[in-house]
Amino acid sequence: MRERIPQPVYLKDYSPPPYLIDAVDLVFELDEDDTRVTATLQVRRNPAVAGAGPALELNGEGLTLESLKLGSQRLDPTQYRLSEEGLCLPRVPDHAFTLELVTHLCPKANTALEGLYLSNGLFCTQCEAQGFRRITYFLDRPDVMARYTTTVVADRARYPVLLSNGNCVAAGEASHGRHWVRWEDPFKKPCYLFALVAGRLACLEDRYVTASGRPVVLRIYAEPQDLDKCGHAMASLKQAMRWDEENFGREYDLDLYMIVAVSHFNMGAMENKGLNIFNTQYILARPDVATDADYERIEEVVGHEYFHNWTGNRITCRDWFQLSLKEGLTVFRDQEFSADRHSRPVKRIDTVNLLRTRQFAEDAGPLAHPVRPESYIEINNFYTLTVYEKGAEVIRMLQTLLGRAGFRRGTDLYFERHDGQAVTCDDFVRCMEDANGVDLSQFRLWYSQAGTPELHLEAEYDAAGRYLDLKVRQSCPPTPGQPCKRPFLIPLAVGLLAADGSELPLRLAGEPAPAPGTTRVLPIQAAEERFRFVDLPERPVVSALRGFSAPVKLNFARDLAELAFLFSRDSDGFNRWDAGQQLATRVMLEMIDRASAGQPPAPVEPLLVDAFRNLVTGQLEDQSYWALLLTLPSEEYVSAAMAVIDPDQVHAARQRLKRELAVALEAEFLRLYEALRGDEHNRFDAAAVGRRRLKNTCLDYLNALDNDTAHRLSLRQFRETRGMTDQLAALGAIVNSHHPNQAECLEQFYQRWHAEPLVVDKWFMVQSTCHLPGTLERVRALLDHPGFDRGLPNRVRALVGGFAQSNPVHFHAKDGSGYAFLAERVIEFDARNPQLAARLLTPLTHWQRYDPVRQGLMRRELQRIAGAERISPDVYEVATKGLG
Ligand code: B3K
Ligand code: ZN
């Protein structure tokens, strides 16, 4: 059992820091086993905090203190206290003073990948959220902002490149084959944005001239063998810089922008000032090793980290409860960037798919928390879909409510008013209010109330009066610590369609004329509201929640014909797609109902088959969008619509529907597939990406037939293609069918790519997500494969995360074997890397949604984890809260 129960931190307990640190000078003498850090801090009392000078408490973890000096005086151990959490100086001067700390740490032993660690022989850092305290004793909180100079000393031969934040100001030789480089960051920053990298790195260099004509040097560093895979990231960076100037008026502020790609990384990337550190997965791409989805993610993540320079770095968070201030806003910005670069509806659909499956599940489970959480044990557990993705939806709703121009006025004011400060979500909303002269008090509930609101809609048409009444009711289920909710302010975008598909006027009773445009945003404020649309010559079909205008569940009873109509006619790209998703979900739920009632299967709903036939034989310009229209809702999405999830039934229904559609439309899918083959040179441009996406959607349907034709197509594609998108799609088809060449293809793929770690990850993932029987045995066996590296987070996520997150039918096996497997891995990996282990664990926390047998099995594993010896606070928090 645990000796000490980790204690939560509360937002309500926030108080400003009693001391400030204005300047930090760091000297790193790098050594894999014993790195020496000399930190010289300029400290002073915080004038904003009244009262007698309290003790100065610095955070520090896993450090060995060599010496401590206050001014010129060396302190002896009676003058300070050291503990597991840090260093306390009971008495410090009232005036400003200098503190010099010399500490030692061991980067090689750092398998948690937080603080200073080694990634494949490279020194690198990760300080957000609280990694800086593993480098030196410090006020490790984001509202302490300082100017940094950093000198890095290391062996020249092994570490020729030495990097830190800001501009390089000096360099030289040192004794014993060592050299040094000094960096100076002119901008004040919180310590979580500190970064250091050292090693043998190759560099791709480019240039950028800002809108105001300032030249900036751009450098992407990677291991030498990967240099030819950095071009796409560089192009993305330049696009992002231009986009932020054009759309938010934000220019880059240093003369140098550096990105380093490292293989061992807990998350996607990190926005350290002037020196981003990235997971290789989000930098490296070449058509033969990276898929179109990889290219898209790289563009998005490079953009995201760049956009943080203003939303996160220049203006940062007062405390970690405000995380969404920077993350929600920056995700919104990267989403808009991607939407402008490619297809807006496709981007929106991808975003909403993630939100509706994963974030909604989080919001409905025991770990549900508001966008601005009120307490945490381990802040790293709060880098969640709620803070990021729902946080971005909250920002999007502000834009929807205020209009693009109003929103821009708000962000302009925010940048002007708060530059150089550490602020709160509330400060951001206040800028929106002040710039637009509006009151957003009710809107703020989106930050403080957890849970996904539900909107119930009813539409009644009165032919004699030519009006339509739209009745709207809202509610929000209870979440931990929040039994009752107040009504939200919800922007509901609606359009009205005539039978011929044209848009009808949007005039509310009492208004002199219809509102301009074909979509109108109704601000829903009360628990129940009614809107009367007048001047309607015919009964309209209501297209509601267009563009997914709010992160809510929409409940709107409609018949299948109406859904089929919207699926073919809605001018709103998102809603057209969504109607198809709803239609297919309804069909699958009916299949499940029949099967549960012991009834024989009925023929597949002809409305759906007809709609799909029209699509496959039709012609749409945006082929990515076309592919999405043809893609059935995921098992996760269908599951979310069930009162009690039955993963076996959901899987069977989805497989059956896919197969039936393939049987009914085999010739059509085949024709389209063949028409899309060939030519592509594997370029990454919207047209080529769309073509591949559509082609591989056809292949997926044909593969559901698991017949000779399908086997022949997938093998041919596997052998002929030179691009990873097509190769992986073919391998996926081969692995998910009874293909006679399966073992051979898997082996060939591994042999061909074993020296490319990111491709090896794909090889593990395609097997861990296979839906055919025997997958868990295969996954267990792969734990012993020579390519399975336990210290490489990407590899662990591919094998274990792939299985637990993206293979519901096997993870939820009724004998509990999938759950037990995950629990064993979580306990195993926790000893090495708590952040990674805590993330892997989350699928077990969704137990309430399953039948009593599965609930019992899932809870049993959570209890086993919570009760395990020497468990980290990270895993402890998720496991205990997950038990509810
Ligand atoms: N800010 C980082 C995430 C840090 C996570 C710390 N556990 C990446 C990002 O959101 O841009
Ligand atoms: Zn971010």
pLDDT at 374: 98
Q: Name which residue sits closest to atom 5 of ligand 1, judged by CA.
A: 128
Q: Measured between alpha carbons, how far is 835 from 858 in angstroms, rounded to an integer?
A: 21
Name the closest ligand to CA 329: 2
State the average pLDDT over residues 598-604. 96
Q: Name which residue sits closest to atom 4 of ligand 1, judged by CA.
A: 128
pTM over 0.95: yes
pLDDT at 5: 84
Q: What integer best gives the mean pLDDT of the chain?
A: 97
Q: Name which residue sits closest to atom 8 of ligand 1, judged by CA.
A: 270
Q: Name which residue sits closest to atom 9 of ligand 1, judged by CA.
A: 270
Strand partners, 216: 208
Q: Is 86 helix (H, G, I), strand (E, B) or coil?
A: strand
Question: Percent of the chain, pLDDT > 70?
Answer: 99
pLDDT at residue 253 greater than cutoff 50 = yes
Q: Name which residue sits closest to atom 10 of ligand 1, judged by CA.
A: 327
Please give the DSSP secondary-structure letter assigned to residue 33. S
Q: What's the CA-to-centroid distance between 72 and ligand 1, angstroms?
A: 38
Q: Return the ligand 1 atom nearest residue 301 CA.
A: 11
Q: What's the CA-to-centroid distance between 528 and ligand 1, angstroms?
A: 39
51, 41 contact by CB (below 8 A): no
Q: Name which residue sits closest to atom 2 of ligand 1, judged by CA.
A: 270
Q: What's the CA-to-centroid distance between 860 and ligand 2, angstroms?
A: 35
Q: Is 465 helix (H, G, I), strand (E, B) or coil?
A: coil
Name the closest ligand to CA 115: 1
- Structural domains in the chain plus CATH codes: 1-198 (2.60.40.1730), 201-314 (3.30.2010.30), 339-555 (2.60.40.1840), 564-882 (1.25.50.10)
Q: What's the CA-to-centroid distance between 298 and ligand 1, angstroms?
A: 15
User: What would the two tokens of residue 677 be?
Assistant: 């083959």
Q: Return the ligand 1 atom nearest residue 835 CA.
A: 7
pLDDT at residue 812 greater than cutoff 60 = yes
pLDDT at 261: 98
State the average pLDDT over residues 800-811. 98
Q: Return the ligand 1 atom nearest residue 312 CA.
A: 1
Choose which residue among 193, 383, 877 to substitute to test ligand 1 binding: the one with the highest number of ligand atoms within 8 A of its C-beta: 383
Q: Is 670 helix (H, G, I), strand (E, B) or coil?
A: helix
State the average pLDDT over residues 572-591. 98
Q: Is 501 helix (H, G, I), strand (E, B) or coil?
A: coil
Name the closest ligand to CA 302: 1
Q: Return the ligand 1 atom nearest residue 271 CA.
A: 11
What positions carry a catalytic annotation?
Answer: 305
Choose which residue among 271, 279, 307, 331 to substitute to test ligand 1 binding: the one with the highest number of ligand atoms within 8 A of its C-beta: 271
Least confident of 69-83, 176-190, 426-440, 666-680: 666-680
pLDDT at 311: 99
Q: What would the pLDDT profile of 50-72 be if each residue is shown by its tens digit?
A: 887 789 999 999 999 999 999 99
How many angstroms separate the Cα of 476 from the Cα of each of 93, 101, 363, 482, 530?
A: 53, 52, 11, 10, 19
Give Cα 298 to chain centroid, integer Å. Answer: 13
pLDDT at 1: 44
Q: What's the CA-to-centroid distance between 305 and ligand 2, angstroms?
A: 6
- pLDDT tier at 679, thresholds 50, 70, 90: low
- pLDDT tier at 2, thresholds 50, 70, 90: low
Largest CA-CA distance found in the chain, in angstroms, rounded: 94
Q: What would the pLDDT profile of 334-377 be if each residue is shown by its tens digit?
A: 999 999 999 999 999 999 999 999 999 999 999 999 999 999 99
Choose which residue among 194, 327, 388 to substitute to test ligand 1 binding: the one with the highest number of ligand atoms within 8 A of its C-beta: 327
Q: What would the pLDDT profile of 767-791 be if each residue is shown by its tens digit?
A: 999 999 999 999 999 999 999 999 9
Q: What's the CA-to-centroid distance between 312 and ligand 2, angstroms?
A: 8
Q: What's the CA-to-centroid distance between 304 and ligand 1, angstroms?
A: 10
Name the closest ligand to CA 193: 1
pLDDT at 615: 98
User: What would the two tokens of residue 237 be?
Assistant: 């960076």
pLDDT at 51: 82
Q: Name which residue sits closest to atom 3 of ligand 1, judged by CA.
A: 270
Choose which residue among 193, 267, 277 to substitute to test ligand 1 binding: the one with the highest number of ligand atoms within 8 A of its C-beta: 267
Q: What's the CA-to-centroid distance between 331 and ligand 2, angstroms?
A: 7
Q: Where are the alpha helices (DSSP H) in 518-665?
A: 560-569, 573-596, 606-617, 623-629, 635-640, 647-664
Q: List, chain by chain if needed, residues with CB within 6 Å of any ligand 1 atom.
A: 128-129, 267, 269-271, 304-305, 308, 327, 380, 383
Q: Return the ligand 1 atom nearest residue 380 CA.
A: 7
pLDDT at residue 680 greater than cutoff 70 = no
Q: What would the pLDDT profile of 737-762 be if each residue is shown by its tens digit?
A: 999 999 999 999 999 999 999 999 99
State the average pLDDT over residues 866-882. 96
239, 173 contact by CB (below 8 A): no
First to last CA, the chain: 20
pLDDT at residue 792 greater than cutoff 80 = yes
Q: What's the CA-to-centroid distance between 190 and ligand 2, angstroms?
A: 15
